[in-house]
Structures are given as structure tokens and as C-alpha cells.
A and B are shown apart, each in its own frame.
Chain A
Amino acid sequence: MRASRRDFLKGIGAAAVAAAGAPAIVSAQARKGVPSDPVKLGVLAIRAGIAAPVGTAGLRGTEWWADRVNNGGGILGRKVQLVVEEESNPKDTVERYRKLVLQEKVDVVLGGISTGVTLALGTVAEDLATPWLSWDGTTQKGVEETMPNPKWAFKSVDNEVEAIVAGMLTPKYFKGIKTVAGIGNDYSYGHDCWQSYQAVLKRYIPDVKFVLELFPKLGVTDFTSHIAAIQQSKADLLMCSFWSGDATIIMKQAAAVGLFKTMKGVFTTVGGVHDSLKKDFTPEGLLLGYNTMYFDDPKGSPLLKQFVREYKAKYNEYPPYECDHAYFNAESYKAAVEKAYASAQEWPSKAQVVKALEGIEVESLSGRRGWREDHVQMCNFYQGLTTHKNAYDFATINPIEVVSTKQAMKPAGAKLFDWINSWKI
């Protein structure tokens, strides 16, 4: 249906251009009740620090989406204009958010990755009555305590989902696991992942022992001491929730001492830097998590393939999952606007857009995904065992497990650990 509308718009535009004799594309495609000026979308992207790689990826994904939409005539004929501000620490990001809404007068804010920031933004978003679609950054606390019933804020998937999926897949791929060591960054995400992983694994392997837990702070670049401690623990398996450059580093340093020759490895979120995991130091047989998008999905849509191709051509890198979150958020906004327009017959108000977003599903880079009624993302998670049998110089996964948030994310209103303990194994 979208394709035909695009053709329809193009037809109208062409006719109007021919008639007016001037390339006033925007006004030519004006529809009933739709303003002719561009629609402003605010974007908060991390530019510095450890999360900079995923922040950059999210921005690139949004820009690619915007170019694509604009080439197709915009949203209901209105061009999309991105207004980008930096996500840094909570205090400064709250100020930039306020600027986007109050000064730049954007219709929606996209973005938000870091946990501390998204927690602060939640209440601000509610106060400023503008939809906010967050890319990432939702921990249990954010879901349960500070934003139990958001009206304007749309939260990312619970952060622990990938740890839960990893916990489900561990007993499937690794038999005879009795002892487990864990390493994660020393902040909410690292701790929450470890706790969720432990809770899930215990359901499948009741007498599993957790022999070591290490939480180096974010930004550490030398894990030789940590690896020494992990080796000493003689655990059967190491679970690691790093997602940035530190994942590459620990993989390298582990390979240098042959850690994974005698130990199994589970890397829940390494998809953030997947193309830096070169074959030289990333062994086969590790369980790797790619969050919601696996760039080389054999079942991937033409959209995904095109995106990967163009991303690689432009940036000489392969896209990580944040691109999918970013694309989905932007695309769902567009779909919501179109859906609300269909009934209102004029450009929808922010409240109408919010209503249309609830329950919506769109075609994102990774496939179909949507917003649950309680403003949480619903999508698929990709994890699998590393293999070197590919055309790249880095490891990829085969076989690929696809687990939906319907299975791996707690339902609306449930408490995480109660829900895990209620599973029928």
C-alpha cells in the first residue's frame, strides 16, 4: 500500500511540476491538512566516549532512513529535517532535549542510549508532552520505578533480554556446564545482565555454580589481570556482556593466552563491534549476541541487504544493531503519522501520533518489529555460534538463533525475576 501511495505522490508531483513549470516539489505535493514546511525530527546521538560507536551507528541509520524517505517524497509529502544534538551526560542531555522541543520545536525526539541519560529523559519527556522514541538504555529500574506508565516516552527493549536469550541458548549449545564465570562493565547494564543470566541458567541447570564475577569499570583497556583471575577460576564457561571496544580487547587478550581453548564463551552483546572481532583472535564455537540485527542474515530482506551494502560503501564498516533501533524508531514514527492522518485527514497532533504508535508494527532493517501497547519495543534477537566460514576477515555466526521478545522479554506489568522463576522448563 505504501508503494502505491509513493507512486501516487510522484504522479501528483510530476503533474504539478509540469503545470507550474517550477521545481517547487514541496508545495506541489502538499496534501489536504498537511503543512508544506519540513517536519523536524530531533535526534540525540552519543558522539564521544565508550558508547560513541553505537551512537554514531544510530545516527547513521537515522540519516539513511531520512534520505530514503525524502527521496520518496517525505512523510505525507513533507520533507524530513533532522535536528541533531549530542547525548552526553544526563544533565547536559536533558538541556539538549529541552532545546530540541522548546526551541527547535521538533515534533518528536529520537535517540537515547545510555542508561543514566534515558532515566533522566523519561520524566522530562513526559513533562514536555512530545513523543520520545528511545533507541536503547532501558534497565529494570527504568521500567519499573521511574516510568511505570509513560504517556509520551517509548522505551527500548529491556536491556537484559540479550542476557536472557544467552541464558536460554547456553544449555542448548554447551553441554556439561557446571561452573560459570562472569565479566561485565561496572554499571547497571553489566550487573543486570549478569543477574538475569544467572537466574535463567539456574532454571536450566539448577546446580550450576557461579565461581567468579568481575566488573571492571567502563573504559578499562587492559584486562590481562582479569583474564588471569578468570583462568584461575577454572570455570567451564565465561559470560561477558561487553558491547564496545572493550569486547574486542578482551577477546584479543584472551586469545593471547588461549583462554577459550579450555573454556566456553558467551558474549551477549558483542554485536556492537562485531566487525572488529577478527578471525585471528576470535575462535569458532563462541556464542555471540547481535542484539536485534544481524547484518549477514541469510533470511534478511532486500532492505537489509541494501542498507548493509550502502553502509559498507560509505563508512567501510559493517552496521551494528543500533542502526536497526534507529531505523525502526524513525520508521515507526512515519507509519504512525500516516496511520493517524488516515483517520484525522490532517497532520496529526503529537497525542494522535502517540496513540497511533501503540501496537504498531513496521518493516525495519531486521524485519518486522513494533511497539507494544505499554510503549516498549518488540522485536527479534539474533545470537549464534561463531564461525570462520565466511568471506570476511572477522567472525560471523552460524547457526543463527532468532528469539522473539515474546519469549525473552517479560510481559507488561510482570516482575523480571518472578517471571523467570515461573517458566516451565
Chain B
Amino acid sequence: MTGRLGLAVAVAAVAAVPSVAPTYHVLLMLPFMAYGVVLLGLNLLFGYTGLVSFGHALFIGIGAYTGAFLTSNFGVRSLEAIVLTAALLGAVVAAPVATLCVRYVKIYFGMLTLAFGMVFYTFVLKFYRLTGGDEGIPYLRPSLLGFGLEGIPKTDYLTGPYYYYSLVVLVLAAAVMWRIVRSPFGLCLKTIRDNPAKAETLGIGVGRYRWYAFMISAVYASVGGALLGAPIGNVDPTLVYWTHSGNIVFMTLLGGFASFFGPILGAFVFIYLEDFLKSLAPSYWRLIFGALLAAIVIFAPGGLMGLVRRARPLRAA
């Protein structure tokens, strides 16, 4: 019960931020929420199925570019339409990619996903007549639930209606993912992660389930990407580069891949820490970040949630 209460408090706290925090910090929460959605999906693959994707920025890119294409080239401004289209496109692209990738595990899976990510990056960069190349495509202000809201300045729009919209999407995404991991499907994934051979003997089609997990994680990443792109206003290929994929895996690890909320916590800490360090040590924040990642990998592989669990003895669920 305290878990539920804690969750409610957290959501309420996030909802209260625009009223109490300075504008800049409110704006920082937007990528946090977008990444939260992405990581919920990524962790289905990582924490629950045991597959680490090093190419998920591909799907973030698909989501962001969907928003850019729809708003700039097709005049479609509805964020609902954008999110749905992003989810659909994410699934369409993920289908063949997943089919190829889930035959392999561990390092080969990581390498294959990295390769796909970089192919998409090269494609987006090279075919500039279609994608804008390095200049990217503008992602114009989307309308929320039919309201254009063009009258208010973009910053007010972002810290107000867009903020709450993102929060609702994150909460919904989390609720859906919670059901997924609690369902028999989720249990099968965990079995596959822990002992694929046993899973086969139990009649669980390992490849098939991994495929579903991949598809779901791709859809989540695309939705997150659609949310991530709007505040930037311009979508470009750097969103798809392999280091971006590496960063989201970093966030997952930072928060704790073995926990449901770990990755979301990881996104929050990553974003604020990065912001803090960039201002504090503009010449060597990457050094500090790298050292931090190394420290987590070596000393706290369970991430922050892992440390929390170690501090508090296990309680009955």
C-alpha cells in the first residue's frame, strides 16, 4: 500500500512542478517525461526480457520525425494523430527489424540493433531532399485535444498544457506497461530471460515472445520520440546517433533495470545531473559522467533502485 501511496505522491509532485518551480526546470521535466515513456519500453526488453538494444534511438527518431513530417509537410497538427501515427510507424519498422534481431542474444543482439540504428541515421542524413539532412525538419507546435493554442507563447504552452498532456501520456503508458509486465505475457518474458531452454520446454515460443517485447518497446520509444521532438521545434539526425542509444541504456542502468520504476527514476536523475554538470564543469562534464557510469556498472549494477533495495530489507510484495 505504501507503494501505491508513494506513487500517488510522486505523480502529484510532478503535477505540481509547473506551479512551484522556475520555468527552466519545468521545461527540463518535458524530456524527462518523454524519456520516461521510451524507457518503459526499453526496459521491457532489457529488464524483463534480457535483451539490451543499442539502437533504440532509431525508434525515438521515427517518433520525432513523424511529428515533424506531419506538422510541417502534411499540415496535421493534432498531437493525438502524431502519437498514434508514430506508434503505428514504430511498429511497422520494428516488425522486420525485430524478426531479424530476436534470433540473437546478448552481444549479437546489441550489435545488430546498433547496426540498424546507424543505417537509419545514415539514411536520414544522406537523403536530405526527403528528410532535410543535417538541417532536419521543423516540428511545429502540435494542437492538444483539438485546441490549437497558437495564441499563447510557446514557453507558456510548454510549461502548461503540453506539460500536463505529457504527464497524462506517461501515466497511461506506465499503467499499460504495468499490466503488461504483470500479465502472463510478462511472466513468460521473465522466464525467457532467466532460462530460455526451460521456457521452450514449457511451450513458450521464445522467439515469438521476444518479438512481441521488441514490438512493444519500439512503439513506446516512438511515442516517447514524438513527445521529445515538440519542445525542440526542429528534428534532426543527431537524435538517431548511436551515442543517443547508449545514453538511454545508461539512464536505464542508472535508475535500475530490475525495477519497474527504476528507469524512470534514471531518466530523471540523468537529466538533472547532466544539466547540473554542464553548467558546473562545461569542459569536462563527459569525464564525470563517464566516471559515474563506470562506478554504477562496477559498484551498483542494480542502479539507484538497487541501492534503495539494499538499504531496505526485502518486504513482502
Q: Digit string of B112-151 for contact with A (CB within 8 Å is 1, else 0)?
A: 0000000000000110100011111010000000000000
Contact with A along B88-123 (1 / 0, CB 8 A): 000000000000000000000000000000000000
Whether B134 and A187, one on each chain, are in contact in the complex, defined by CB atoms closer than 8 angstroms, is yes
Q: Which of A215-236 contact B (CB under 8 A)?
A: 217
- Contact among A85, A116, A128, A142 with B278 in the assembled complex (CB-CB below 8 Å): A85
Cβ-defined contact, B153 with A127, below 8 A:
yes
B24 touching A102 by the CB < 8 A rule? yes
Main secondary structure of the interface of B (DSSP, over half): helix
Cβ of B234 under 8 Å from chain A: yes
B279 at the interface (CB under 8 A from A): yes
Neighbouring A residues of B234 by C-beta, 8 Å: 90, 116, 119-120, 123, 146
Note all chain B residues with C-beta closer than 8 A to A188. 128, 133-135
Q: Chain B residues near A186: list those with CB within 8 A.
A: 125-126, 133
Bound CA–CA A187/B231 (angstroms):
24
A47 touches B282 (CB 8 A): yes
**8 Å CB contacts to B: which residues of A83-104?**
84-86, 89-91, 94-96, 98-99, 102-103
Asked if B183 is at the interface (CB within 8 A of a chain A CB), the reply is no
Q: Which residues of B are found within 8 Å of A39, using beta-carbon distances?
A: none
Complex interface: chain B residues within 8 A of A217 (CB): 125
Least CB distance, B195 to chain A, in whole angstroms? 40
Complex CA–CA separation, A289 to B27 (angstroms): 42
Q: Determine if B155 is an interface residue (Cβ-Cβ < 8 Å).
A: yes
Whether A85 contacts B232 in the complex (CB less than 8 A), given A116-B136, A120-B136, A188-B128, comes out as no
- Is residue B239 within 8 Å, beta carbon to beta carbon, of the partner chain? yes
Q: Is A334 on the interface with B (CB-CB < 8 A)?
A: no
Name the A residues within 8 Å of B305 (CB-CB). Answer: none
Q: Are A120 and B232 in contact (CB under 8 A)?
A: yes
A91/B135 contact (C-beta < 8 A), A127-B155, A186-B126, A187-B125 known: no
**Do A116 and B24 have beta carbons less than 8 Å apart?**
no
Is B194 an interface position by the 8 A CB rule? no
Does the CB pair B126–A89 fall under 8 Å? no
Judge whether A89 and B236 touch: CB under 8 Å.
yes
B135 adjacent to A139 (CB under 8 Å): yes
Find chain B residues with CB under 8 A from A187 CB. Answer: 125, 128, 133-135
Please measure, in the bound complex, the distance between the C-alpha atom of A186 and the C-alpha atom of B228, giving whole angstroms.
Answer: 26
Considering only residues 270-312 of chain B, those with a C-beta below 8 Å from chain A are 275, 278-279, 282-283, 286
Q: Contact between A103 and B278 (Cβ–Cβ < 8 Å)?
A: no
Q: A99 touching B24 by the CB < 8 A rule? A: yes
Give the number of residues in A that approach B within 8 Å (Cβ atoms).
33
The complex places the Cα of A168 from the Cα of B25 at a distance, in Å, of: 50
Bits for A168-212, please: 1 = Cβ < 8 Å to B, else 0.
Answer: 000000000000000000111001000000000000000000000
| Cα distance A196–B236 in the bound complex, in angstroms | 24
Pairwise interchain contact B22-A103, C-beta atoms closer than 8 A? yes
Does B198 lie at the interface of the complex (its beta carbon under 8 Å from any beta carbon of A)? no
- In contact, B238 and A123 (Cβ under 8 angstroms): no
Pairwise interchain contact A127-B154, C-beta atoms closer than 8 A:
yes
B161 within 8 A of A: no
A124 at the interface (CB under 8 A from B): yes
For B25, list chain A residues within 8 Å (CB): 103
- Looking at the assembled complex, report how far the CB atom of B240 sits from the nearest CB atom of chain A, in whole angstroms: 11
Q: Cβ of B134 and Cβ of A116 under 8 Å apart?
A: yes
Is A276 close to B, CB under 8 A?
no
User: Is there an interface contact between A85 and B282, defined as CB atoms closer than 8 Å?
Assistant: yes
Nearest Cβ distance between residue A101 and chain B, in whole angstroms? 8
B23 within 8 A of partner (CB): yes
Contacts of B154 in A (CB 8 A): 123-124, 127
Q: Contacts A90-B236, A103-B22 given: A98-B135 contact, CB under 8 Å?
A: no
A5 CB within 8 Å of chain B:
no
Residues of B with C-beta under 8 A to A389:
none
Are the CB atoms of A120 and B233 closer together than 8 Å? yes
Flag whether B10 is at the interface (Cβ < 8 A). no
Judge if B172 is at the interface, Cβ distance under 8 Å: no
Q: Is the CB of B135 within 8 A of A141?
A: yes
> Smallest CB-CB separation from A217: which chain B residue?
B125
Cα distance, A84 to B278, chains bound together (Å): 10
Once the chains are docked, how many angstroms separate the CA of A188 from the CA of B239? 17
- Bound together, the chains give a CA A173 to CA B5 distance in angstroms of 78
Cβ-defined partner of B238 (8 Å) among A90, A98, A124, A141: A90
Interface 0/1 of A119-159, CB less than 8 Å to B = 11001100110000000000101100110000000000000
A86-B128 in contact (CB<8A)? no
Say how far A111's CB is from chain B's closest CB, in angstroms: 13
| B197 CB, min distance to chain A CBs, angstroms | 43
**Chain A residues within CB distance 8 Å of chain B:** 47-48, 84-86, 89-91, 94-96, 98-99, 102-103, 115-116, 119-120, 123-124, 127-128, 139, 141-142, 145-146, 186-188, 191, 217
13 chain-A/chain-B pairs, Cβ below 8 angstroms: A47-B282, A85-B282, A89-B238, A90-B236, A95-B27, A102-B24, A115-B134, A119-B136, A119-B234, A124-B233, A142-B135, A145-B138, A188-B133
Q: State the 6 A-B residue pairs at the shortest beta-carbon distance, nearest first.
A: A89-B238, A120-B234, A187-B134, A102-B24, A103-B24, A127-B154
